[in-house]
Amino acid sequence: MAPLVVPADLLARIDATPRTGRPQISWEASIAGYLYLGGLGAGAYIVAVVAGWLGLTLAPARITLIGGWVWDWSRALVLWGPFATALGASLLIFHLGKNWFLFYTACKNPRTSWLARGFLILSGFIVVGGVVAAVAVFLPSWPDRHLGLWRVLEAVGVVLAFGTAIYTGLLLRSIKYIPAWNAPLIPFLFLASALSTGAMGVLMGAMVHRLLVADAASVHGLARGVEAIEPLLIAIEATLLVLYVRYLKKGKPEGLLSAGLWLSGSWRYGFWGGIVGLSLALPFALALVNLGLRSDLLAVIASASVLSGGFVLRMGVLGIGVKETPPLYKFALWRAQHPAVGPSSALERP
């Protein structure tokens, strides 16, 4: 019986593969854009609808077209979420390219495929949320005449929006061979980020409304309401981020490597500057200061900061995704480093 010897050229080929403790490179900007826009759109829809239930709405900005058809385009400034999510889904299709048929294959069994579940959740949100937005803009008097049905339709959209925001994290959670993604906190971190970025997106819409419509009262109510909850959302997101990093540091070796890439490695500037700085620290401070000043400029700066940091967060999570090394690779590496193991070794083959 001869001991198992790994040829040097085979070991070199194994060591050259991205499975050997290096960050993955398959999912980059387009997938980050998909995850970001999906969460942003869902969060913006949730914030806009719930704010409406609380009476925080923009003053109508209606125009009358030929035939007396009245449009209220002010609603488009806060109910744009489903269209942002649809744009994100198009980035996923663009990434798949010729492999778009994977949707059809996966959707045949939604009980076992997260891709299928996500397709159904996203599609439902885009359709229901799109209908809500279209009716609010093009048929603004309809909700008043059918308030009960309108509230049900909005609520269904909110449920689907929550599902969409969480799913962007569950998609990564389902990939078990990358510990930085297969983490239980990822769906909740993405949900918190979706609500935070969505709130700031709605605030941006309110600021645009202020520029175009001479009615500061409605904008003031919505803007101040959103700014009041933003520090809480940021605090929740920051807490989840800390717990997520601690989970990586105490988990598998690849998770520890991912944490190192964020804290002190190649992604340190994106983490400390883009995520901690832009997404958390700066907008948190500005939101607290602006509760007293009520400055539109500070509100816009805080919004832009959160929106930018939200994308960096997705890019960062993808960028630190280190694949687990296959067991055969570890065995081959060990065996190559111990060529003198005798025939009595258990690590032999006949």
* 15-62: pLDDT as tens digits: 444 444 677 877 888 899 999 999 999 999 999 999 999 999 998 888
Q: Is residue 9 part of a domain?
A: no
User: What is the rounded CA–CA span in Å between residue 200 and residue 273?
Assistant: 19
Residue 340's pLDDT is what?
58
Q: Quick one: average pLDDT of 284-294?
A: 89
Q: Is residue 182 part of a domain?
A: yes
Given a contact cutoff of 8 angstroms between Cβ atoms, the answer to whether 19 and 323 are in contact is yes
User: What is the rounded CA–CA span in Å between residue 209 and residue 58?
Assistant: 8
Q: Is residue 246 part of a domain?
A: yes
What are 54's two structure tokens? Answer: 């609380």
Residue 304's pLDDT is what?
96
What distance lies between CA 24 and its chain's CA centroid?
Answer: 18
Domain with 115 in it: what CATH number? 1.20.1630.10
Q: Is residue 282 part of a domain?
A: yes
Q: Nearest 5°: CA angle at 327, between 326 and 332? A: 100
| Per-residue DSSP letter, 341 | -
DSSP three-state, residue 70: strand
User: What is the rounded CA–CA span in Å between residue 304 and residue 278?
Assistant: 9
**Nearest CA among 94, 158, 102 for reference residue 129:** 158
Give the total number of structural domains in the chain: 1
Q: How distant, in Å, are the alpha carbons of 218, 287, 301 from that of 211?
A: 13, 21, 16
pLDDT band at 343 (very low <50, low <70, confident <90, very high): very low
Residue 350's pLDDT is what?
35
Question: Using CA atoms in the order 272, 273, 275, 281, what is the torsion angle rounded to 10 degrees?
Answer: 90
| Per-residue DSSP letter, 64 | E
Residue 313's CB is within 10 A of a number of other CB atoms, namely 28
Q: Where is pLDDT greater, at 95 or 207? A: 207
Q: Is residue 78 part of a domain?
A: yes
Phi, psi of 106 (to 5 degrees): -70, -40
In sequence order, the β-bridge partners of residue 3 are 348
Q: What's the Rg (C-alpha) of the chain?
A: 25
Q: Is residue 18 part of a domain?
A: no
Structural domain boundaries enclosing 63: 23-322
User: What is the rounded CA–CA span in Å between residue 313 and residue 275?
Assistant: 6
Does residue 211 have a pLDDT over 80? yes
User: What is the rounded CA–CA span in Å between residue 43 and residue 189?
Assistant: 13
Burial class (CB in 10 A: 0-12, 13-18, 19+), 287: buried
Q: Is residue 15 part of a domain?
A: no
Residue 63's pLDDT is what?
83
Given a contact cutoff of 8 angstroms between Cβ atoms, the answer to whether 309 and 279 are in contact is yes
Q: Is residue 1 part of a domain?
A: no
Given a contact cutoff of 8 angstroms between Cβ atoms, the answer to whether 328 and 32 are in contact is no
Determine if the pTM surpasses 0.75. Answer: yes
